[in-house]
Amino acid sequence: MNTLKGTLVVLAVTLFFASCSSSVKITGEKPGTANTKGLKDYYKDFFPIGVAVAPRMLHGEDSALIVNQFNSLTAENAMKMGPLHPRENEYFWKDGDSIAFFAKKHGLRLRGHNLCWHAQAPNWMFKNANGDTVTKEVLLQRLKDHITTVVKHYKDYVYGWDVVNEAIDDRENVFYRPSAWYRICGEEFIAKAFEYAHAADPKAVLFYNDYNTENPKKREKIYQMVKKLKEAGIPIHGVGLQGHWSVNNPSREELEKSIKMFSSLGLQVQVTELDVSVYAGRQGGQLIQGQRRDSASAFTPEMEEQQREKYKMAFDVFRQYKGKLTGITFWNLSDRYSWLDGRGRKNYPLLFDTNRQPKKAYWDVVRFDAAK
Ligand code: XIL
């Protein structure tokens, strides 16, 4: 009898503590684990937050972090012309499709990147059977075929496309980049690309996308080009600021000016490829001429501080321009891998460290006064 009583007391006490502990709220905010807030949640009243991915990241720990933190995706390479269209009569859909299916399955938005670019374009595009350069007519027809096929293929998955990427030159006295597209077609390929994309999916939001968009001279050229397209009735709806920035660039003023100028044309603005290189002097991912190929590769406290400042400033500005900005996308997920690695040194440009844990800059970005 006494033993039974004792057992009941122990049971009651156990149940009491069990019920207490189950009512304790999980307050730990550890990004990367389920049931915790992610970037997308902190920014739900502002804009979607995206990340550029490769198919290998759609499994395991990377995929858990993606789903926990982001509500938009871009294919880092899989939807570019070269990877997608390696030979004239051959498309390779597998990689792009795996990203599209993943996005659909998890309810993430998907940006299409990109339809026409001087880099990662297949060589066959510009050559005929004899190896000679094709005529403008042939090239525009091939561009049309490519854009029509790709945009229609991803119609139910992709809400908007970077239609033309990096058509403006960095040099002050050169307007258009002398790419194969430009050399063969002149500036007309730009308008045509937008028209082909619009015809293939009239609902898609169409962007011109470029880097160094905070450089006053380049910004002015982009502004003039986009204005001309708009005035000619070309279906262009947005400008993508790639956002390949560094610890010393851009300034708050220049960033604000770019957002204001492009949105003054009635266009939406997105930051499409955000990363903050810890090395000074980077320009759109390229080394500035004469720059040292620094072999140092540690993430120093000084780099960390400077990077925090830049991220904090950038997201302050982004929040301020809510409504004009319709998306912010990071170019890669964590410092474990970034396209900026290599060139003899490791970079640390993102908000998650090499162990996929949030860096201090992450907390700077998500801790803000929503009332401001
Ligand atoms: C980069 C990818 O991240 C790399 O993996 C690839 O080798 C080269 O292209 N601007 C763009 C992106 O618009 O498509 C580029 O992506 C980075 C610069």
Locate 207 and state its tokens.
Answer: 């962007």
pLDDT at 80: 98
Catalytic residue among 76, 166, 195, 214: 166
User: Quick one: pLDDT band at residue 344, thresholds 50, 70, 90?
Assistant: confident
User: Quick one: pLDDT band at residue 30, thresholds 50, 70, 90?
Assistant: low
3-class DSSP assignment, residue 205:
strand
Pocket of ligand 1 (CB under 6 A): 76-77, 165, 242, 273, 285, 339
pLDDT at 281: 64
Q: What is the mean pLDDT of residues 54-60?
A: 97
Q: Quick check: 124 and 89 in contact, CB under 8 A?
A: no
Residue 254 a catalytic site member: no
Catalytic residue among 273, 302, 304, 309: 273
Is the pLDDT at 23 greater than 70? The verdict is: no
Range of lowest pLDDT (121-125, 133-137, 292-296):
292-296
Mutate to test the pocket of ligand 1, among 77, 272, 338 (most ligand atoms within 8 A of CB): 77
What percent of the chain shows pLDDT beyond 90?
Answer: 83
Residue 166 a catalytic site member: yes
What percent of the chain shows pLDDT beyond 70?
Answer: 86
Half-sphere exposure at residue 106, Cβ-oriented, CA atoms within 13 angstroms: 21
Q: Residues 172-228: pLDDT tens digits?
A: 999 999 999 999 999 999 999 999 999 999 999 999 999 999 999 999 999 999 999
Mutate to test the pocket of ligand 1, among 331, 341, 347, 350 (most ligand atoms within 8 A of CB): 331
pLDDT at 20: 37
**What number of other Cβ atoms are within 10 A of residue 218's Cβ?**
21
Residue nearest to atom 4 of ligand 1 (CA): 339
Q: Distance, CA 113 to ligand 1 centroid (Å)?
A: 10
Of residues 5 and 19, more confidently modeled: 5
Assigned CATH topology for domain 4-281+292-366: TIM Barrel (3.20.20)
Q: Distance, CA 332 to ligand 1 centroid (Å)?
A: 10
Residue nearest to atom 12 of ligand 1 (CA): 76
Dihedral sign of CA atoms 36, 39, 44, 50 in order: negative
Ligand 1: which atom is nearest the Cα of residue 162? 13
Q: Sort 160 into a burial class: Cβ within 10 Å, 0-12 / 13-18 / 19+.
A: buried
| Distant-in-sequence, close-in-space partners of 185: CB < 8 Å, separation ≥ 6 | 136, 139, 140, 192
Q: Residues 238-290: pLDDT tens digits?
A: 999 999 999 999 999 999 999 999 999 999 999 999 999 999 864 544 554 44
Residue nearest to atom 5 of ligand 1 (CA): 339
Ligand 1: which atom is nearest the Cα of residue 285? 18
Mutate to test the pocket of ligand 1, among 76, 117, 179, 246 (most ligand atoms within 8 A of CB): 76
- Where in the chain are the domains? 4-281+292-366
372 vs 345: CA distance, rounded Å: 39
Residue nearest to atom 7 of ligand 1 (CA): 339
Prediction pTM value: 0.89
pLDDT at 250: 98
Ligand 1: which atom is nearest the Cα of residue 284? 18
Q: Name the nearest CA neighbour of 58 among 113, 112, 106.
A: 106
User: What is the average pLDDT value for the chain, to the nearest integer?
Assistant: 90
Of residues 306 and 24, more confidently modeled: 306
User: Quick one: pLDDT band at residue 297, thresholds 50, 70, 90?
Assistant: confident
Is the pLDDT at 108 greater than 60? The verdict is: yes
Q: What is the mean pLDDT of residues 305-318?
A: 98
Q: Distance, CA 14 to ligand 1 centroid (Å)?
A: 57
Q: What is the mean pLDDT of residues 105-111?
A: 98
3-class DSSP assignment, residue 272:
strand
